[in-house]
Amino acid sequence: MHLVTPLATADAAARRWLLRTPATSYVVGLDAGDAPRCLHWGRALTAEQAAALVAPATAGASSFDSATAGDEELVTEAGARFETPSLQVAFPGGDRGIDWRFEGHDVEGGHLTLRFADRRHPFLVELHYRVYAGSDVIERWTVLRSALPVTVLRCDSAAWSVPILRDYRLSHVTGGWSAEHALRRTVPVVGETVLTGRRGVSGHHANPWLMLDGGDATETHGEVWSGALAWSGSWRITVTRGPAGRAGWTGGAGHEGLTFRLAPGAEWVTPTFAGLYSAHGYGGASRAWHHHVARHVLPEPDEPRPVVYNSWEAVGFEVNEANQLRLARLAAEVGAELFVVDDGWFGGRVGDRAGLGDWWPNRERFPGGLAPLIDEVHRLGMRFGLWVEPEMVNPDSDLYRAHPDWVHHTPGRPRTELRNQLVLDLARPEVADQVRKWLHELVGEHEIDFLKWDFNRALTEVGPDGRAWHDHVRAVYAILDQLRADHPGLRVEGCAGGGGRTDLGMMARTDQVWTSDNTDAHDRIAIQRGFSQVYPARVMAAWVTDSPNPLTGRVTPLSFRFHVAMAGALGLGGDLLAWSPEELAEAARLVAVYKDIRPVVQFGQQYRLDGGVQYSGGDRVVVLAWRGPVAFGGPRIPLRPAGLDPLGRYRDEDTGDLHHGAVLMASGLDLGLDGGDYASALVRLRKEG
């Protein structure tokens, strides 16, 4: 990807604007009624070429058709518009819909702002666009301002249009708890396909990103248009495929029914909804997303993610100072760099029925507080981390007994308990302030290097004002932002019962995310493949745990578990106290191997292969290959690396064998994975010459 200066340029006479990225262009223009329309999103255009674009006709074929072409930048309800609305507002008296009147624009480097007013009411809408040097991602968001009280029924961040294609294919993920990121590729219906999360988090069951192509894209070839929403609460993306052949989507925070009042003089700013065009297939789109997330989303992108040991699967709620000290010593011996104490260290937390909200060390389990354990972990050369669930409270807790009104609830109705807990109402400033204060004290007083921030149930009884769903998430963001500002050395892992808060909004405030509570290596292959469509390996926490697996009961070799987890930010979560000396020695060897390949895995370019994954960085290439259960007599398919220099020569760092790049990509590597079920291999190549 060659770098160009990102520009948002204006053609005042034609009333159109060109946004340029290194490999793509985006052109927005105004029609005769001042409605903003997408004129082009795709391959790079010059200013002269952009000026030559002709907008498609807007008149419908009949009086039952929409008068628009399905390419508006934010669809309203005014006039004969029958596409999915992006912006729905009700003015005093019941008047709905925005009749666009262009007010002006601002261009500052890569940031374009288009300003509009409604022709009847003192109501303002700003459409924002931003591009960055070296990134093909375009960020968009919307700002509302009103001089009179209005009811906002829906306010998406942006609507995105793709060219008219012969056919379309939609890519997204589905799943559930411990089954996140299951990749789906389907033909979108003519009509509306709604992807949504209604649980107050981005979700296990879906995730706020999508891709559209013409049905002919592959990992390596074809045009792909994609979008990802930077939001960690409820969300909705509606894909529309019109009868005339046009397709696109609109999306943003919230779900249906979450209306709220916008007071006179108030401002509403949506989260960012980013879009990306790639001419290089799904793999090219993914690598472009990975690059953007690393350079323009993550707070500390260039830090190697440490090898974590987390004690949860070893001891569960039976955590105490003695077993944590024993585990810490073993973790240090196998090469862990960060030791994390999970749930059960605080208050009356001896199970999941009590203690949430009482964030001080349990004196029966830690008689001297946390200091002796933290000191020993630091002496062993590791950093120290704690599991916390700041947004939650058990009814059986001192906090709840003192402040029963601090939770989301509907007066006069039962309070829904999920996992025996309730959710603190962080939309209330006094509640959010209390959470911020105890986190600040915990981190500052105990030399905490790392927090695993969890969220283990969905939101319910959030209240009559729909903005509380938004305000809760914004409070979480504000607390994390302040905590990191106050403690610059603190690192954070985002978690919500596994991958329930995997999104660009959370990644802007955390260093990695917990991918799934399912640590079964065989299941993780598919989970991690779906995760990698948009999110980079460096943020994908992946543990090696016990066999049989605690969740699935599946028995797999230790090397297989390691090779799968090495594809992300490696962690250990097994009961090291029960591992044999041989297993501990093998683990130490494999951790050392991971530390050698970590710069390539975490900072290189990822290529999804048939039967594995490849990372390329500098002159090194790392291939991780695996296979699950196989049928007798099935073909042994060589694994074909990708993205190599066809004229280059590559030396196997472990065997010394020399390979030609063109031969590897054409004939593949015969890895000899015939050692039974759950065989795996790691290949390290270095380019010579």
Q: Is 137 helix (H, G, I), strand (E, B) or coil?
A: strand
Beta bridge partners of residue 278, listed in sequence order: 224
- What is the per-residue pLDDT for 1? 39
CB half-sphere exposure, 535, CA atoms < 13 A: 34
Name the residue type at position 613: V
Kindly give the residue spans of alpha helices, DSSP state H, lying in 549-660.
Answer: 558-565, 581-603
- C-beta neighbour count of 69 within 10 angstroms: 22
Q: Is 454 annotated as a binding residue?
A: yes
Return the pLDDT at 2.
41
* Amino acid symbol at 469: W
C-alpha neighbours within 13 Å on the C-beta side of residue 339: 28
The segments of the chain whose pLDDT lies below 50 read 1-4
Q: Does 453 count as an annotated binding residue?
A: yes
Task: Write phi, then psi, for 417 (nearest 5 degrees).
Answer: -100, 130
Which amino acid belongs to residue 262? L
CATH 3.40.50.720 fits 7-296, yes or no: no
343 annotated as ligand-binding: yes
Whole-number pLDDT of residue 3: 43
Q: What is the CA radius of gyration of the chain?
A: 26
**Taking the C-alpha atoms of 79, 81, 84 and 88 in order, what is their torsion angle to the nearest 10 degrees?**
-10
The one catalytic residue among 503, 511, 517, 523: 517
Is position 455 annotated in a ligand binding site? yes
pLDDT computed for residue 59 by the predictor: 59
- Tell whether residue 456 is among the known ligand binding residues: yes
Spatial distance between the Cα atoms of 179 and 204, rounded to a whole number of angstroms: 7
How many angstroms separate the CA atoms of 387 and 390, rounded?
Answer: 10
Q: Is 268 annotated as a binding residue?
A: no
Does residue 610 have an active-site annotation? no
* 450 labeled part of a ligand binding site: no
Distance between CA atoms of residues 658 and 635, nearest Å = 25
State the architecture of 617-688 in CATH terms: Sandwich (2.60)
- The predicted pLDDT at position 94 comes to 86
In this structure, which long-range contacts are made by residues 111-118, counting pairs with CB atoms below 8 Å and at least 24 apart in sequence? 111/8, 112/8, 112/17, 112/19, 114/17, 114/28, 114/36, 116/34, 116/36
Active site residue 517: yes
Taking each helix axis as running N to C, give the angle between helix 558-565 and helix 521-531, from 0 to 180 degrees, rounded to the nearest 10.
10
d(CA 437, CA 435): 5
CA angle 230, 602, 613 (to 5 degrees): 95
Residue (of 256, 241, 65, 270) closest to 161 by Cα position: 241
> Quick check: 236 and 277 in contact, CB under 8 A?
no
Predicted model pTM:
0.97
| Displacement of CA 29 from its chain's centroid (Å) | 31
Concatenating the DSSP letter of every residue in 488-534 gives TT-EEEE-BTTBTT-SHHHHTT-SEEE--S---HHHHHHHHHHHTTT
Whole-angstrom distance, CA of residue 415 vs CA of residue 406: 12
Per-residue pLDDT tens over the stretch 442-495: 999 999 999 999 999 999 999 888 999 999 999 999 999 999 999 999 999 999
Q: Give the start-to-end residue ranges of the domains of the chain.
A: 7-296, 308-528+545-562+572-586, 617-688
Q: Tell me the Ramachandran region of residue 199: left when phi exceeds 0, alpha when psi lies from -120 to 50, beta otherwise.
A: alpha
Mapped onto helix, strand or coil, the DSSP state of residue 225 is strand
Query: Measured between alpha carbons, how far is 495 from 506 in angstroms, rounded to an integer?
Result: 9
CB 281 within 8 A of CB 220: yes
Ramachandran bin of 163, using left for φ above 0, alpha for ψ from -120 to 50, beta for the remaining angles:
beta
Q: Which of 654, 649, 660, 647 is nearest to 622 (CA)?
A: 654
Measured CA to CA, the distance from residue 496 to residue 456 in angstroms comes to 5
Question: Is 657 labelled as part of a ligand binding site?
Answer: no
Q: Which of 118, 396, 449, 454 is catalytic?
A: 454
Angle at 384 between CA 378 and CA 390, to 5 degrees: 155
Question: What residues contact residue 170 under an 8 Å CB cut-off, 6+ apart?
Answer: 184, 185, 186, 187, 188, 193, 210, 211, 212, 239
Topology (CATH) of 308-528+545-562+572-586? TIM Barrel (3.20.20)
